[in-house]
Amino acid sequence: MTTIVMERIGRVFISLQQIRQVPQMLTNAAPSMPGTIRDTDVPYYFRERYVCTGYRPLHQNWRYYFLSMFQRHNETINIWTHLLAFLVFLVKLRQLSETVDFVGDAHSWPLLILIVSSLIYSAFSVAAHLLGGKSELYHYTFFYLDYVGVAQYQYGSAVVHFYYAIDESLHRYVHGIFMPAATIFSCLSCLGCCYGKYRNHNLPTWVRKVGQVVPSAVAYTWDSSPVALRLLSWSTASNDPAIIYHFGQVAFFLSCAFFFSYPLLERCFPGRCDFVGQSHQLFHVFLSCCTLCQIHASHLDFLGRREVYSRLHGSGDAAVFVGLYGVTLVVCAMIVTFMLRKAKKVIDPKHKSK
């Protein structure tokens, strides 16, 4: 017994030694990683308002940008917030797959769409913030993918709200148009974000924000209307375990929408939030919390409102919504392809803004 305990202690000690060697291993892997630079040293459309330092130099090798996730720069927190969120969503999917039959139960497919779309948006966000600083072309490419992630997540939100959370009174009026309209709004959101980024090379930053915020606000209003009606009709006498999580997702979304639209902390403390404290970092945190509340609420609705949604939705509705999710992805991919062609003309040396 003593021998076994000593062997396990020895293994733990070896593991701790290996962990302590990680910083040195990173240093040996990239002994000459360049430091960060100021906003004046990067293209105009790379800059964030009131963030003056912490930018990574362009045109380095790929290894530099991958290893920069362990470096202190103004995208480090943005990378790690959504990387950790991705891992949490992955664990949540694994937990749910132990009790939910995602293959044989068609009624579970909307919930699966939400979780998959959450994984995609967080992964694309990590890629954009980690690799978008390599060059002008990759900046557009990865952030356009980020916008695809946002758009398809909006669709994922719409489908669980419509399938699980909607009341019969609202379903009676919108059952034929809700999901097709949600598909259109998601694609318009992707287009607005991409176009805003495209025009940001020669127009003020607020133009990009308008292109991103307005279509996304319209999509969110439509997608969340079943939840909003349910919250308005809720009373303290009702026994609804999911309602607190629906309240949570709305509160977190409104918070992240505010910090996405307005750089409050950077404006109040210019130059002091270059690495930690940016509004976009808070946006990431609140959006991740919103998604977790949304997944939990949808799971509770999936369990507790089965009689309601089984009656409202036909046997083939879930398959149709999976198909519309595929349509959303294809259309968004076409939008990105089109906008990348336009972006290449902007970054071409003959057309690049000086």
What's the CA gap between 190 and 201, in Å, rounded? Answer: 18
**Do the Cβ atoms of 114 and 326 come closer than 8 Å?**
no
State both tokens at 282. 């808070």
**Token digits of residue 277:** 């404290």
Beta bridge partners of 55: 37
In 3-state terms, what secondary structure has residue 202? coil
Q: What is the DSSP string of 230-241?
A: HHHT--TTS--T
Q: Is 280 annotated as a binding residue?
A: yes
d(CA 82, CA 86): 6
> In residues, how long is the chain?
354
- For the chain, the helix, strand and coil percentages under 3-state DSSP, each to the nearest 5: 75, 0, 25
Annotated binding-site residue? 129: yes
Give the closest residue to 283 by CA, choosing from 73, 53, 129.
Answer: 129
Which parts are annotated binding residues for Zn(2+)? 129, 280, 284
Which parts are annotated binding residues? 129, 280, 284
